[in-house]
Structure 1
């Protein structure tokens, strides 16, 4: 924030937005609020804000962030005192309405909804955990109203990631709820910058091309939004990385669910989306249309904590699977008196040994033992750590446990449940610096959408794969970019290519059925939704309930789903040789 604000005279910006929220810290901060042991807002926001404040005041830059997490009012007080202590003429507002557990539980008692989990299909009455906190995803109009009434800094809790930009654009251009196309474009613009440097080269499968541009100084994306809703994406001057069609396609495909993208203020219709290169590090967003928002909004429910512990062994060289079976058998025997108390127990081989490895590290894999239980006492050292380590003298050849046992002691993890709540049930409010409170009404016009996104099992533009010429077995990622991420226990995965003839091949290769083959042993039988984005030369999948209960309590090492695409890109397929001749990604 200080970097961008201090360079205003050379590289001006009007609004700084910051997205501090994820499903991971939503649950952790909810637990903090309920226990009262730690601050329930995001303290790293204060670290970013404090050095930037003099420049924010000097250049009258507006600020909107969702760093309030589970205690926005308290963060508002801390920021207000920080501003006053520095003697700056800045006013601070805050947004409420995202905390909705009472409304949700009352509606559940009245039988108004089964509150179905949008990832798993489970009904809330059947959920075996006790809710302690619930947060609804708010739109951006409370932010717009606070700016309109003179606020310089607006702190929020669980407004959706992109709502920060929606609110800024609505305030600046004085848009109305009926300006759906404009709102939709600002919504997608917000999605493109919500994850910071993901749009400028972070988490990008073409990262090797950026080494010459500076891996050590990847820049921050900036969106320019016109009164008509047109969007151009650029980045701060003098930074590394790049803004390109490819880096924006990468970020766009991350976290979307299909061709409909929902927000409390608008639904973005993405069938015809594309990006146009305007100049170096300047790319225009095209083809986004707006539709009415849904009558509901997403709610994340946090339950009383489980407890988790894990232990690691190193396996080296030959017979990895047999060595893993041996140590697992011995550990299970020692755990037998206590194992019934475990909610979950998993033994995992992480990595593999290449043929003729060049060093010992390359020949070593991680064997992970991880367990979860309702009570910390059920994972006490005598019940988990000791059974994991006590077989050391009778284990596999080279048996070596990790000596850092901190993870073997129980820690809190939180179950998380995602459902929908009517927007009309939410008391969305802007709290202004002068103590005035303004209610933000829900949208008066909404649209109910089908439960599932539009999905194509395979492409409608059928071309026999044989027409693409001679092929060679090669990793999919030699010519195909990929990007994936989590939404609760769902995982979305997008693939795209550089040339139109490659796209004809890609969309014919990547059917829903072929995705099951590509996933291999990772496919557990869940629903797969598939759609195409021709303007991006992309195919997108939503893998329903693929991520073991979501980031807050998953036992997977890929807890954010970000490496799903990288796993799929290394899987071998028949790649046309003429495409390989153009060069690899």
Structure 2
């Protein structure tokens, strides 16, 4: 802690970072800090901060950003600046921060002030300073005494453009390609900051810390560093534990049953899943529980499921530390109470992740409904006709995709379940095409509409044509930027806008792009499990998947030790390729294991069609990759089935 930090934290209005308690060995240690996870994104419940503020918590953290929101906010910021320079900005645009945050926070402010609860969030997006100002105004309107700080430095557009001119190749984390081979020009760049700035703000008396693009888990890291006083140059195990603690609660109710493979047993309370509370100890271990009198559960299953979400390999990188996941252990200590231990830390990487946004072009889609038998033949009939109507314009399309979605079951029980969606999807860099073709209406819309009366049996037009109008889309590129190039800083407005620079750690390490990948050691003979039944893998195996740009991660887990030996022996890289079937595009697959939670993890490189804002598929976030694989049939030992299905 700097001398200035010590001075301010000792002022009458300063903040105590934890009380001490006597342990059985006679030593004095700080009690664990209780951190509530209030948001995993803009689509989360708005009640969270208010509900959690009524409980016994020391801090509330929340994540409101994603690659989707970073792209859209960044592109809009560039567009606003362009209009401003051209004199076409007729009125000041709305702030480019999460529009739901203040609505979530404001009702809870009296409780936050009364209990001394700290708040650290990344809701600032691309207008962090403005959001901090608006929060401070709301605090003043309610006549409360709360200090609002903000953390910046995540916007690195000018730095990235300079480094490109200096010859930096900015290799893609997904494909390994050079940025110059991407085919698009970056217009905005935002990097991921760690938790050290949040810790510094709290050390200097902040009550609410508003951030831009700090990593999802960084608020918990910052709270842990502040509360326990960890040294970021050497306390790697402790900080790594806080990083994983933050990862577990960053998506709010995910860890309490959201997206859980065993969701069917949670139906009774599914209308109101609880939000999580983590107790983060001085050694970096933590416990996870949920708010009382709510639905869902906290179990090894739900916590393991969230651990597996959006990880990339055995190493979990943050700007403050690198966490090793392979040794994690989870123990159920009571109802809705799971302890997480075994996380080991390594020095942080010399780089941090950076996402670049570029204008991609325009896209549109058209939907035709077909029904009954001969669906593939009907879809082919329609595709041939539409391609004919498009003519020479096809040459200017970067994507022209027909996908038949759904199937008609045998002897269907009603007409709706027998009906399928034929989706026609197009993308192009130019909205105006050859021969006066266009993605305006009529245009692409007309190519599809032309064929209605020449259509296959049952050709039915979707009754909402708005999607067939071309709209702007953006491409997203993920790479690494040196931490030394990032101007991480904290501003304390109540001290005449004093700014504190957060320098990178002195002890950093270079890591290769590809993480360790391996097949299982000493696989067992699957015949040893006796008679089997052919059925979906998901009958006995849970799974969780997610995205990082075009990479998809998939983690599988089981409930019992003998099932673990079976799972790790069954799920080889070659087996996953077979299970992916037509979804396997030939990309690299990386594999590792986490024995402590009986899990096998795979990273499917460049598996998704780009990212959320530009993908041509339904699974925009990779969340259904795992569910698709759980539906694949394998030989399941009858003894496992006798225990009951997920």
TM-score higher than 0.5 here?
yes
Asked whether the 8 Å contact 1:503–1:537 carries over to 2, the reply is: yes
- Pair 471,544 (structure 1): closer, same or farther in 2 beyond 3 Å: same
Alignment of 1:88-127 (within 5 A): 88-111=144-167, 113-127=168-182
Aligned to 1:391: 451
Asked whether the 8 Å contact 2:53–2:117 carries over to 1, the reply is: no
- Does residue 351 (structure 1) correspond to residue 390 (structure 2)? The answer is no
Tell me, in whole angstroms, the C-alpha distance in 2 between the residues paired with 1:66 and 1:552. Answer: 21
Tell me, in whole angstroms, the C-alpha distance in 1 between the residues paired with 2:165 and 2:69. Answer: 28
**Deviation larger for 32-41 or 160-169:** 32-41
Aligned to 2:136: 80
Tell me, in whole angstroms, the C-alpha distance in 2 between the residues paired with 1:480 and 1:295. Answer: 37
Aligned to 1:20: 64
- Does residue 583 (structure 1) correspond to residue 639 (structure 2)? The answer is no
Alignment counterpart, residue 556 of structure 2, candidates 480, 486, 495: 495
Tell me, in whole angstroms, the C-alpha distance in 2 between the residues paired with 1:92 and 1:7. Answer: 21
Describe the superposition over 1:341-383 as per-residue Cα deviations: whole angstroms up to 9, x where unpaired: 2221111111112121111111111110111111334411233
Alignment of 1:340-379 (within 5 A): 340-377=395-432, 378-379=438-439
Alignment counterpart, residue 451 of structure 1, candidates 488, 513, 517: 513
Asked whether the 8 Å contact 1:272–1:288 carries over to 2, the reply is: yes
3-state secondary structure, aligned to 1:93: strand
Tell me, in whole angstroms, the C-alpha distance in 1 between the residues paired with 2:410 and 2:210. Answer: 54
Describe the superposition over 1:284-342 as per-residue Cα deviations: whole angstroms up to 9, x where unpaired: 00110000011000000001242111111111110110110011111111111322222
Alignment of 1:563-574 (within 5 A): 563-574=624-635
- Does residue 437 (structure 1) correspond to residue 499 (structure 2)? The answer is yes
Aligned to 1:31: 75
Describe the superposition over 1:433-486 as per-residue Cα deviations: whole angstroms up to 9, x where unpaired: 221000000011111122211111x31122111111111210000111011000
Alignment of 1:300-311 (within 5 A): 300-311=355-366
Aligned to 1:140: 195
Describe the superposition over 1:403-455 as per-residue Cα deviations: whole angstroms up to 9, x where unpaired: 10111112221100000000000000001122100000001111112221111
- Pair 4,106 (structure 1): closer, same or farther in 2 beyond 3 Å: closer
Asked whether the 8 Å contact 2:53–2:111 carries over to 1, the reply is: no
- Report the alpha carbon displacement of residue 38 of structure 1 after superposing the two structures with TM: 4.8
- Report the alpha carbon displacement of residue 8 of structure 1 after superposing the two structures with TM: 6.7
Asked whether the 8 Å contact 2:532–2:636 carries over to 1, the reply is: yes
Aligned to 2:15: none
Tell me, in whole angstroms, the C-alpha distance in 2 between the residues paired with 1:198 and 1:279. Answer: 19
- Does residue 195 (structure 1) correspond to residue 256 (structure 2)? The answer is no
- Does residue 260 (structure 1) correspond to residue 325 (structure 2)? The answer is no
Question: Gaps (5+ residues) in structure 2?
Answer: 1-37, 39-45, 81-92, 433-437
Tell me, in whole angstroms, the C-alpha distance in 1 between the residues paired with 2:155 and 2:53. Answer: 39
Asked whether the 8 Å contact 1:485–1:491 carries over to 2, the reply is: yes
Alignment of 1:499-578 (within 5 A): 499-578=560-639
Describe the superposition over 1:527-564 as per-residue Cα deviations: whole angstroms up to 9, x where unpaired: 00011111111100000000011112111100000001
3-state secondary structure, aligned to 2:392: coil
What's the TM-score, normalizing by structure 1? 0.97
- Does residue 339 (structure 1) correspond to residue 383 (structure 2)? The answer is no
3-state secondary structure, aligned to 1:327: helix
Aligned to 2:262: 206
Aligned to 2:212: 157
Describe the superposition over 1:479-517 as per-residue Cα deviations: whole angstroms up to 9, x where unpaired: 110110001100000101111111111111100000000
Tell me, in whole angstroms, the C-alpha distance in 2 between the residues paired with 1:507 and 1:54. Answer: 51
Tell me, in whole angstroms, the C-alpha distance in 1 between the residues paired with 2:570 and 2:178. Answer: 36
Asked whether the 8 Å contact 1:11–1:237 carries over to 2, the reply is: no
Question: Gaps (5+ residues) in structure 1?
Answer: none
What's the TM-score, normalizing by structure 2? 0.88
Aligned to 2:305: 250
Tell me, in whole angstroms, the C-alpha distance in 1 between the residues paired with 2:306 and 2:430. Answer: 39
Aligned to 2:126: 70
**How many residues matched?**
582
RMSD (Å) for aligned C-alpha atoms: 1.4
Tell me, in whole angstroms, the C-alpha distance in 2 between the residues paired with 1:8 and 1:127. Answer: 44
3-state secondary structure, aligned to 1:139: coil
Asked whether the 8 Å contact 1:33–1:71 carries over to 2, the reply is: no
